[in-house]
């Protein structure tokens, strides 16, 4: 709840007028300081957002200006442009105060000094899904305030699979019944060799990318590609291919084609695939990914949120905007309506629980882990995909391919 929302708390106007005066004083102070620090900052807030998020942030900006008198301007840019230009524009005093972006930018932006850590009151922090806070953190500090989360679950064709499996053994049984390669129909598929969608299978028995400390700090010298759990998970995929129950290569185009044509019983994928299935008239359902040997698969969780320019002298105003305008149930629901993904803000998510599809994705990713937010992941994806290619085309065993990949990464990162 926004404690300064009109009509909720008696005496709002008196409190609002006082807060407005304080913020005007802060803005004037920032203007004075800007003449010393940089001539481009004048006590106004600037936000960079992409085309999907710009309309809602313009609405939040307008409301905040009406409440406080402080002008907030939102500029529309592509996500790639935001991620790249903020690095060079911010030190020159030409960047925004806030950016809207993905959590996997954080490691790079922290290391090059572009974004600042954020302190939130404990009671507000506890209103966010813990996985999203972990995703927006780096080396034990919070660097972003999340608004949404996403990841993969089990999509199933209700005409082929009336009830989704609860266990991996049940998934195998259904897959055997439905699969008929002669007509190009498969009971279960997952995009291969790119390992993003298959990671829940690889992680269920303990597979991981990097080790981590108790505070979430990643241990770059602890490479988990050849961990026992990762090898066991890859062996499950390898077995499906050997048995002829799944093709050895399933690029995005093949996966979405089988899905939309109604020739895939079950697919591990994200909410972005639902419109593709429905465009082909598929009666699609969503469920958590079945347990494997009693263990929960752990999909990667991607998180979106806002981050603070480390060079902005408007930190006090930014803090007020975050706490009293952005991180409220009302604002988070508006963001959800514009960009319907499970909200990272628990009070807003509770308001949307009547959506069974959203609920299923939220349940699936509640067992997940944040996609590592370090720039080294670019190298990991390349080396890991090469290893999965060798496994899927039966060139190397899972143990051989993943050990080889882990060695490449160990050598690369040690240098």
Tell the CATH superfamily of the 12-150+303-365 domain: Periplasmic binding protein-like II (3.40.190.10)
Q: Hunting for tokens 């498969």 — which residue is that?
A: 186
Quickly state the pLDDT bin for 214 (edges 50, 70, 90): confident
Residue whose pair of structure tokens reads 């066991």 in the numeric block: 232
- DSSP structure class, residue 206: T
- CATH code matching the domain that covers 153-298+376-414, chosen among 3.40.50.1370, 3.40.605.10, 3.30.70.270, 3.40.190.10: 3.40.190.10
Q: Is the pLDDT at 322 greater than 70, yes or no?
A: yes
Least confident of 49-58, 177-186, 246-255, 348-357: 348-357
Domain 12-150+303-365 and domain 153-298+376-414, same fold? Reply is yes
Beta bridge partners of 152: none
d(CA 326, CA 330): 9
d(CA 360, CA 366) in angstroms, rounded, equals: 10
- Residue 17's Cβ-count burial label (10 Å; 0-12, 13-18, 19+) is exposed
Pair 121, 323: CB distance under 8 Å: yes
Please tell me the total number of residues recorded for the chain in this structure: 415
Torsion sign over Cα 385, 390, 394, 396: negative
Structure tokens that stand for 199 in this block:
């990671």
What are the residue boundaries of the structural domains of the chain, listed by start?
A: 12-150+303-365, 153-298+376-414
- Mean pLDDT of all residues in 155-180: 98
87-101: pLDDT as tens digits:
999 999 999 999 999
CA distance 18 to 12: 10
Average pLDDT in the 135-150 region? 96
pLDDT value of position 42: 65
The whole-chain average pLDDT of the chain stands at 90
5 falls in which pLDDT band (50, 70, 90)? very low
Distance separating alpha carbons of residues 31 and 26, to the nearest angstrom? 9
Q: Which residues contact 126 (CB under 8 A, 6 or more apart)?
A: none
And the tokens for 391?
A: 């496994």
- Calpha distance 142→149 (Å, rounded): 16
Q: Work out the pLDDT band at 75, boundaries 50, 70, 90.
A: very high
CA pair distance 75, 264, nearest whole angstrom: 42
Q: pTM of the full predicted structure?
A: 0.85
Q: Which whole number is the average pLDDT over 285-300?
A: 97
Q: Which residues pair with 376 in a beta bridge?
A: none
Paired with 35 in beta bridges are none
């Amino acid at each position: 709840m926004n404690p300064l929302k009109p009509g909720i708390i008696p005496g709002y106007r008196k409190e609002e007028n006082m807060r407005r005066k304080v913020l005007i004083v802060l803005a004037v102070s920032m203007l004075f300081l800007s003449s010393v620090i940089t001539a481009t900052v004048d006590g106004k807030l600037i936000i960079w957002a992409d085309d999907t998020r710009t309309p809602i942030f313009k609405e939040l900006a307008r409301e905040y200006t009406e409440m406080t008198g402080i002008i907030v301007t939102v500029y529309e840019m592509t996500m790639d442009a935001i991620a790249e230009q903020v690095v060079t524009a911010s030190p020159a005093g030409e960047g925004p105060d806030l950016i809207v972006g993905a959590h996997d930018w954080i490691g790079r932006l922290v290391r090059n000094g572009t974004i600042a850590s954020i302190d939130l009151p404990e009671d507000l922090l506890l209103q966010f899904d813990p996985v999203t806070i972990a995703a927006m953190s780096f080396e034990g500090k919070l660097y972003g305030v999340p608004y949404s989360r996403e990841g993969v679950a089990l999509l199933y064709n209700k005409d082929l699979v009336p009830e989704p499996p609860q266990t991996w053994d049940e998934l195998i049984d259904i897959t055997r019944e439905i699969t008929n390669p002669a007509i190009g129909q498969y009971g279960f598929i997952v995009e291969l060799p790119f390992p993003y969608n298959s990671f829940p299978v690889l992680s269920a028995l303990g597979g991981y990318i990097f080790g981590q400390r108790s505070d979430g700090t990643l241990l770059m010298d602890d490479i988990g590609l050849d961990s026992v759990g990762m090898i066991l998970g890859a062996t499950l995929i390898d077995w499906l291919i050997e048995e002829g129950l799944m093709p050895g290569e399933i690029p995005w185009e093949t996966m979405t084609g089988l899905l939309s044509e109604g020739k895939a019983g079950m697919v591990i994928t994200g909410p972005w695939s639902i419109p593709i299935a429905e465009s082909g008239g598929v009666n699609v359902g969503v469920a958590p990914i079945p347990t494997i040997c009693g263990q929960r698969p752990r999909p990667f969780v991607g998180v979106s949120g806002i981050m603070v320019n480390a060079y902005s002298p408007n930190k006090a105003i930014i803090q007020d905007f975050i706490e009293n305008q952005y991180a409220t149930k009302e604002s988070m629901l508006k963001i959800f309506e514009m960009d319907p993904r499970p909200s990272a803000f628990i009070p807003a998510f509770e308001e949307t629980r009547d959506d069974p599809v959203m609920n299923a994705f939220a349940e699936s990713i509640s067992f997940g882990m944040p996609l590592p937010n370090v720039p080294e992941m670019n190298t990991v994806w390349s080396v890991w995909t090469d290893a999965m290619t060798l496994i899927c085309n039966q060139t190397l065993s899972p143990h051989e391919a993943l050990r080889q990949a882990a060695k490449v990464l160990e050598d690369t990162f040690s240098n």
